Structures are given as structure tokens and as C-alpha cells.
Structure 1
Amino acid sequence: MKKLTILHTSDIHGNVYPLNYGNNEVAYLGLGKIATIIAQERMIDEQLILIDNGDVIQGTPLTYHYVQFLKDRPNPMVKILNYLSYDAAVIGNHEFNYGIDVLNKAVSESSFPWLSANTVHEDSDKPFFGKPYIIKEINSVKVAILGVTTHYIPNWESEENIVGLKFKDCLQETKNWVAYIKEYEKPDVLIVSYHGGFERDLETGEPTENLTGENQGYAMCQEIEGIDILLTGHQHRSLTGNVNGVEIVQPSHSGQAIGKVCLTLNNENQIIDKTSSLLIVDDVEADKEVLTLTSEYETQTQAWLDTPIGMIEGDMLITDPFLIRTEDNPLIEFINKVQMEIAGVDISNTALFNNASPGFRPNVTMRDIVSNYIYPNTLKVLQLSGQDIMDALEQNASYFILNEEGQLDVNPAFLLPKTQHYNYDMWEGIDYILDIRKPVGERVTTLNYHGAPIDRNGTYHVIMNNYRAGGGGDYTMFKDKPVVKDIPMDMTELIANYIMKRKTIKATVNHNWKVIWK
């Protein structure tokens, strides 16, 4: 009998230290803790395979500060992955957020290959990052590892960050490469590491989201013969199990857990048993050597986060994120005002990205800004019709349901399989009411612009982040609409500059929108 262990991280999103950057309180996450588990597992099996499944170089103030101020130095996340002797990493969609130059530099500094069989040169169809798959031989067992990346990236990413690239359909490319590997490599074990998730319930096969192609993991398990293990991510779910004979795992996000798959093979290298599990970091002490590797980056990041920016006169704190999404409030109104002034337009939308957003304290620092605006978004002004705006608000209104008690609640579709609070927008420059007592698609009962009903055939210029402008979050009414203005500067920098220029910001609210349900 032979044993083979595969460890799998995904969606680390720049988390190294076990802390919450918003308040520097302890958090049970990060590569520091993951590193301790990896070391423990290597004591059991020195020859284990270690793979990162994508979205590792972006996501925290540490990685943002690095890109803004220290990018001539080695990438801090790559330094750690090199130290931990990763065998391979897969390109995730957020790898592109800081631009192709930052990504290429990270790849060049890596002592392991980055895989993405379906991310290709636009003019040649050759894999952009070189290797679509690698072969490892462990204890006379031949293992193939194929990497693929969700092909939905052009719907979210700024065009300048993916110039010259084409993202081919994951399902079809995985079929093609699995067939190729089986014929020409004849591996004993075939692993697909897919930066994407599952579009259907793993037990019933019922769709759990709109079948856009963003996630195709279920179809891979059902339609592709020869996959032994499917490592997944992107959805930030905690999953283990077996789908149609394929062992699957997805290890949450931010370094809260690491996925583990154990194979047992007979002497003819045939798999006779497969099990998957998640190793949780909660009670694990962070590896001090790993923390030391990036300690200088972290020290500079913390100093930058405490840099004073300005003052807030009034209340921009968040005590109830659910309530924030039901009526106009000073924080969201402020962000929309920043966007409108920068773009020179009078209609804007933005979101409260997650429920951990604390709002702005009276003495604003960079820590406040990055704690509330957590994504490296840029801005675009789109030319929309009044009907487009109406359709977007109806999509917005689907965020809510009335529960069994008749109380307002969040639609489970925005919570499962992945939390999507960032896909509910709040608007400035228009007056509107969402009535959740009405059926989905008929909930916008008031929609006015400059005091009169909006002209559904009229033309309006609207500022929004680049993710939404590409149709992200099922806002298909925005996709491929004319771009009037592109503002490539990161939104956190725009907010900081806005506050620093004015020194003091008054918290205001004009009550231009509300949600009603009773």
C-alpha cells in the first residue's frame, strides 16, 4: 500500500498575520497559522504535495501597501510561498487586481510554477503563464496537476489589467487538457486545481446560482472522466466530499483552514481509497519564522494605516449593517459624493461591501478607509438609459425577502453558497423607493431624477466601480454599455485624497431612497 497527501490553500487574500486590520484585534486566520499546520503535516509525510489555488497576492492592507510603496522589493506573499516550498499555484481572478506587471513580477519571483491552462495569449492561444500542468513523481506514483482559472474575469477586471489575454471556457479546456494528459502522460493520479467553485448543490444537482459559467465545478465532476481530485476555491466555502467519484475540497478563505486529501493506492498504483478534510487554524499558533519573513513590510503597513487623514463632523459609524441597506445613511452618501465629484456626474452607486465595515471614526486614518473600502476598485462612468437604472434597482431589490414572520430579511441567494453583500448597491442622485411587499421585478415604486419621473428612454451618466460596470453581480444591464469616462486610480486613494484636501467632512444624509416592507 502507498499513501499520498495533498494539501491545498485557496483565497488567502493577502492574510499573513492572525489579526483584523480594522482594529488589530486577534483573528483566527492567516498564512502564519497555515504554515504551522503545513510543518506538522510534513512531519508525518515529507513528500506531500502542496498547492495554492489562487487569490493569494491581493486582499489586505499589507498587500495594498506593498503595491503602492514597496513593489520594487520581493512580493511578501511569494516570499512566504517560496519558504513553505509550494509545488504549484493557480492563477486566481484577484491576482490581476494590481495589474499584469505586479502579477508577472510575482510569477518571476516564485520558485514554483503558476498554472492556468485556460488563460492564454490572445493572439496565439498558448497558455500565458507557461505551464498548464505539472507532473510530480512521489514514491513511484506519477501525479499530474492541472490548473484552471474561472473564465469570468473579463466581466470584473479592468481592461488595462488583462490586455493581451484571453480566458477560455474552463469546462471545455479542462476536458481538453484532461484528455491530453491521460493520453500522453498516463498519470496514476490526476488532480485539477480550479480557481472556481460549484454552480449546483452537490447532493441534488439543483442550481444554486445563475449559470453564467463563473463556477463550473459540478459540471467538471459530472462530465469529465478521469479526474481523481478537484481542488476548488473562489466561493469562500468550506467543503469536503465526493461528487460522482471525484474527491472535492474547498478550504474557506483568508487562511482559516487548509484542505487535505489523502489517497491510498495499491502496489499497482491504483487508487483504492480517497478522503478529504479541512484542517482548521483556530487553536494553532502562527509560525514565527513566517511572520518574520514579512515583518518589515508589516511594520511599514501598520505605520501607514495609522496616518491621520482628516476629521468627520457628525456620525459615520456603522452599528447595524442591515439597517444601513434599508435607508439612506451618511457613510454611503459620502462615498457616492466622492465618486460623483471625481467624475463630474450627478448619479452614483456604491455598496457596503461586507458586514464587518466599521464606518469612519471622528479622527480618520488610512485604517478607516481600507477597513471600509476593502477592494482595489477603480471607477467607470457608464452611459445608461432610464430603463437600465430601473432594471438595476430591481436587481438590487431582490436582495431582500419577507421571512415567515413578515419581517425584512436577506434573500438566501445573497448568502449561499457565498456571501454577497457587495452585490447590493445604494444610489445617490436619484430618488427611489423599494417596496419589498411586491413581487421581485415590480418593487421599484418610485424612481425620480431632478424631481420628475425618470425617462426610461432617456440617457444618463452614472459612476460606479469597475466590477459593477462590467456586469458583476448579475447586473447584466451594465455589461457592454458605453464607457463615458474611465478613472483608473484606486478608490481608496481617491477617498483619502478627498478627505485630506478638505480636512473636515460633514456627515450628511438627504434621504433620497428607502426600503419599505410594512
Structure 2
Amino acid sequence: MAIASSLLAPTSGLGKELTLKIAVTSDVHGNYFPYNFITRSPGDGSLARVATRVNELRDSLGRDRVILLDNGDILQGQPTAYYYNFIKTDAPHLTARMLKWLDYDAETIGNHDVETGHAVYDRYRKDLGSLPLLGANVIDRTTGKPYLQPYTVLDKNGIRIAVLGLLTPAIPAWLPETLWDGLEFEDMVESAGKWVPYIMENEKPDLLIGLFHSGRDFSKMTGEWRENASLLVAEQVPGFDFIFMGHDHTLFNSTANDKVDSSAVILNPANNANHLAEGNVTFILDDNGKVIGKKLSGQLTSLDDIVPNSAFMAMFDSEKNEILDFVNRKIGTSEGDFSVRDAYFGPSAFMQLLHDLQLTISGAEISLAAPLSFDAIIRKGDLHMSDMFTLYKYENMLYTLEMTGRELKDYLEMSYSLWTDVMNSQDDNLLLFSGLRTAAKGDYAKLLNPSYNFDSAAGINYKVDVTKPQGEKITITSMSDGTPFDFDKIYRVAVNSYRGNGGGDLLTKGAGIPHDELKSRVVSSTDKDLRFYLIKEIEKRGKISPEVVSNWKFIPEDFVKDAVRRDRKTLFGD
């Protein structure tokens, strides 16, 4: 996708011209090589393809006329990142080495980078050396000052370019405080409102770039935090020439959108290094080299047809082979297929495996979990380490927390309301599709809400009436062992740490538990990520078998039968 437009600042029409290019990646999620280490097959995007495109730009414009930036969420996703985060910790971080080899100018931290914990991102920042890791609104509680470098100033051909980094402040809604101990996260508009005047007065830049790990839809709150505030900053804090967004995995180019109330060019390359956001700026200079005007434009460049850079591949070949050895390690056997696709339409073997493992590891009475990967499958045969990234996508810990029966019911009411539409006839959809509305995240474009908030339960028997609105959908008939379910009883419930800290609002807006009370509800927590314990349990068992426990169902069953078939075809084409 390449969409270009031009915004012309008033000039005298006289003087020399100097052109610079700003190339930006975001939400790379460990996709460094043109290979998917989870599916163990060739992959799209990658930093290897970014290297080819950036070299083309540097060769055509001149190396000192290309600015290369990354917008965070680079330390989580593919096993490439996981291996250097948690396994090979005695070596310089591979990601830092790659960014320095590619000669990046700056990077903003992302929420999934924070998710790795202090030990990882503090080591990573050190390994970056002089390459600045930005985050103006990441505040050190002890000093009250930014924990990370707030901005950097680059000098390109005598042109001063300031880059301000901001992170979505909703970290406390998703992550255990142990991962960001000693930090707090300012509202993005508030932080930009302080730093832009400071930068303008003290640095006097010729160009101001916002590098924001935050998306575009500021209409929704995540707990008490405005998660996606990039466009709000653009509208309320003047002075930016370019704003590069991230986090929501959605392609965006403001020069092709007349609804954006900002003079800045705003771009988002989405995720996995499948696209490169490219800002173009031509400076009009007077005879003394002073900037007297600017021409700005933006485009999103697809990397689909780009050949991976051979020098990059050669440089990091031994690391690639070491990671391949890691993901190819056998940890057990699967006696059948486990498909995420089944999880959208009723009880599934995939979700039953996850619920069973959560209950075993935690010792809880009830498990709550969602399909974290939108579409994935574990195949019959040998189980490898790579399959564990299919089973569990994120580095969440496992919590056991206390909830009343009433809170559980209300929690499920919200979950299935995010998941399913209200059917008035057999011709209606079962699933809640985005339609003309904006999807919550680019990965889930056909769904209004991401599937990682579609929690089902194990340990209880219940029905979901798809003809009813939220509050009337769920009927819990008993515990799964046949004993009565009690709305007033306190149950021990297994949830991941994202959910346990308020992620997705199911505990807060759904169950009605105040956010500041969530911490006191946690009875226990694993000390390592849940995937680590899933691996240990599967290694102990030796094999897993697909099993569907029909502890819940959509009703009326005849009413939803055709909708399941239609919606499955819409979602997956099968």
C-alpha cells in the first residue's frame, strides 16, 4: 500500500531545497527474520526486508538524509525475542544488536516491551548504547522525572530534527506492578503539552516528530486511562510536523483521511514489519541555510515484494540457527489437532486444553481464559517448543483470585456481549462483527472486539442465550461436578495476569470490582510466565489429546446452527 499526498507550508518560492526521508517501523513483535518461528515456515515482513528498503532509500537520497525510527513492541511476539529476553540472557540482546546494525536513530518503548519486566528492558536499554530508548511519559516515582530519555535531537545536513517519544499510559490496566515497579505513566496529552514548548524553546528544531506507541481511537477508555491518544495529541498539542502511531496494529495515513483535525502528517505502519511508514519532507532554505518553508507528505510502503537483505541475513545467521534449535525442541506428543477456530462457536479442544492446564497449575476451582491467537492450530504429531507460542501467545503470569458467584456471572455477561451479537432471527450473525464500525485492533478487522477478550469458563456448567442482551445472556446451572453454584460463595478462579490487572475491563466493568481492589483479590501468582508452566506440565504428561467438554453452549441450539456455519465462513472462509 503506498498512499502519498503533499502538504505545502507557505514559502517565498525562493531558495534551495533539501529532502529528507523518515522511515518508521512499529509493533515488529520479534519479526526479525523472513521466517515464522511459531509455524516454522517462511514469513512475511521482517527487519530483513526493512533493511533492503532502507538501503534503497539511503542509496537514492544519501545515508545522512534518511532517519530510521522504531515505535516499540519489538521485544515480544516471535520466539526470537523470547529467547533473548529469558533464555540467553548472558549475551547482548539480539534486538539491540540488530537495531544498531541497521543504524536506527531512536526508538520509543512499547507496552509489550514493558511486559518483559525490568530485568529485560533495563538490560536491553543498556545494550542499545547510544541509541536512545524514548518515553517522555514514563516517570520515575522516586525522582518525578522521566525514567527514559524523553526526546532526542538529530542533526541531518544542518537540519535539527526533534523526536518526542510517548507510550500508551494504560500499562497498569494490563501488567502486574512487579513488571513496572517504581514507575508511573502520564497522560499523553498532558505530557506532550509540557514537552513540546520545552523542546521548541530549548532546542529550536526545524522539524518536530512525535513517535507515539499509541493508536488512534481516543473515544474509548481502558480503565481510567486513555489508551489510544495519538490523534488527540495531534489535535490538542500544536507543533508536530509528523506523528507516527503504533499499538493498534492498523494502517493509517492522515493525508488520505480528511476527518483528522491536525496539520501534522500522521502515519501508522501497523505490525510485524509488513509495511514501512515513510514521511517525506523537503525543506526550503534561504541563502544562509535557514529553513524558511517545508513540504510534507506521507506514504505507507508495503514490504511484501521486498527481497530480504542478504548482508543482514548473513550477519545474524548463527543466531537464527540457535533460535531454530530452540523452537524445534520436542516437548511431547499431540494425539490430534487443536484449532482455535472452533473456540468461537462453542466448547473446543483448544480452550479445554488451556483451561485444564490453568486449573492443574493453579489448583483453582474455576478457570477463565480466551483464545489469545486469532487463528492458530496445533497439529497431530510431535509437539515442539514452537507450538507453545501457538497455545499461549503472551508472557502473562497465572493468577488465582477470589470472586463471588455473582461476579463470575456478570464477568461472563460482558465477555459474551463482546463476543456475540443479539440475534433477533435465524438470519442474524452469531458473532459481533465490526461491519461499518471500527474494529478494536487491526488483527481482528472483521470482529468488533479482539478475541483475547472472549473468555469462556471451565469448572461450571452454563448456557449463553444469544437472543438476550448483556445481563440476561448467562444462566449458570451448576458446578461441573454437579454440585450447586452459589452466587454468594467466594470461588478461587484462575486467570492470566493481563485479566487479573484489569485488562479488557471484564473484572472491572463486567464483574464490577473496583480497579484498586483487584490486587487484594489475588491469592497467588506464578513467578514466571504461564507459558513456562504450560511447557513443564506438558513435558510431565508426555502427550495431550483433543477433548471437548461440553460444559457450556449457545442457545437456542437450532436458532444458532446456521449462524455458526455462516459466521465461520465469513471469519475463516471454511
Q: What TM bracket, shorter-length normalisation? A: over 0.9
Among 178, 181, 185, the residue aligned to 2:199: 181
1:144 positional shift: 1.0
1:14 positional shift: 0.8
- Partner of residue 571, structure 2: none
What's the secondary structure of 1:266's corresponding residue? strand
- Partner of residue 186, structure 2: 168
1:500 aligns with 2:507: no
Question: Are the counterparts in 1 of residues 142 and 182 from structure 2 also a CA contact under 8 Å?
Answer: yes
State how 1:12-411 maps to structure 2 within 5 Å: 12-45=28-61, 46=63, 47-110=65-128, 111-129=130-148, 131-200=149-218, 207=219, 212-242=225-255, 243=260, 244-267=262-285, 268-313=290-335, 315-318=336-339, 321-398=340-417, 399-401=419-421, 405-411=427-433
Write out per-residue CA displacement over residues 305-364 of structure 1, whole angstroms, 9 at most, x where no aligned residue.
Answer: 222222234x3421xx44322211222112111111111111111121123311353322
What's the secondary structure of 2:504's corresponding residue? coil
1:241 positional shift: 1.4
- Partner of residue 489, structure 2: 458
- Whole-angstrom CA distance in 1 between matches of 2:232 and 2:535: 44
- Whole-angstrom CA distance in 2 between matches of 1:87 and 1:150: 21
Which amino acid is 1:410 matched to?
L
Question: Are the counterparts in 2 of residues 5 and 261 from structure 1 also a CA contact under 8 Å?
Answer: yes
- Whole-angstrom CA distance in 2 between matches of 1:36 and 1:416: 32
- Whole-angstrom CA distance in 1 between matches of 2:477 and 2:324: 44
1:271 positional shift: 4.2
Structure 1 stretches (4+) deviating beyond 6 angstroms? Answer: 208-211
1:376 positional shift: 1.2
TM-score, normalised on structure 1?
0.93
Which amino acid is 2:462 matched to?
Y
- Whole-angstrom CA distance in 2 between matches of 1:424 and 1:374: 15
Question: Are the counterparts in 2 of residues 349 and 427 from structure 1 also a CA contact under 8 Å?
Answer: yes
Write out per-residue CA displacement over residues 391-422 of structure 1, whole angstroms, 9 at most, x where no aligned residue.
Answer: 21112112122689313233327944432211
Give the alignment's Cα RMSD to 1 decimal. Answer: 2.1
What's the secondary structure of 1:474's corresponding residue? helix
1:43 positional shift: 1.2
Question: Are the counterparts in 2 of residues 156 and 470 from structure 1 also a CA contact under 8 Å?
Answer: yes
Question: Are the counterparts in 2 of residues 325 and 426 from structure 1 also a CA contact under 8 Å?
Answer: no
Q: How many residues align structurally?
A: 508
- Whole-angstrom CA distance in 1 between matches of 2:431 and 2:344: 11
Higher helix share: 2
Which amino acid is 1:22 matched to?
I
1:290 positional shift: 1.6
Write out per-residue CA displacement over residues 468-512 of structure 1, whole angstroms, 9 at most, x where no aligned residue.
Answer: 111111222464321110112222221111111122334332211
- Partner of residue 203, structure 1: none
Deviates more, 1:429-438 or 1:414-423: 414-423
1:139 positional shift: 2.8
Write out per-residue CA displacement over residues 238-295 of structure 1, whole angstroms, 9 at most, x where no aligned residue.
Answer: 1111432121001011110111001122225244422111111111111122223332
What's the secondary structure of 2:503's corresponding residue? coil
Which amino acid is 1:438 matched to?
K
Write out per-residue CA displacement over residues 9-66 of structure 1, whole angstroms, 9 at most, x where no aligned residue.
Answer: 1001111111222332222211111111111111122222111111112221112122
1:428 aligns with 2:458: yes
Which amino acid is 1:473 matched to?
G
- Whole-angstrom CA distance in 2 between matches of 1:489 and 1:414: 35
- Whole-angstrom CA distance in 1 between matches of 2:320 and 2:365: 39
Which amino acid is 2:420 matched to?
F
Question: Are the counterparts in 1 of residues 40 and 386 from structure 2 also a CA contact under 8 Å?
Answer: no
- Partner of residue 446, structure 1: 476
State how 1:406-417 maps to structure 2 within 5 Å: 406-412=428-434, 415-417=439-441
Deviates more, 1:415-424 or 1:45-54: 415-424
What's the secondary structure of 1:473's corresponding residue? helix
Question: Are the counterparts in 2 of residues 311 and 505 from structure 1 also a CA contact under 8 Å?
Answer: yes
Residues 356 and 21 of structure 1: CA distance in aligned 2, closer, same or farther (over 3 Å): farther
- Whole-angstrom CA distance in 2 between matches of 1:322 and 1:271: 53
TM-score, normalised on structure 2?
0.84
Deviates more, 1:418-427 or 1:49-58: 418-427
1:8 positional shift: 0.7
Instruction: Using the aligned pairs only, state the percent identity.
Output: 29
- Partner of residue 501, structure 2: 470
Structure 1: stretches of 5+ with no match in the other structure: 201-206
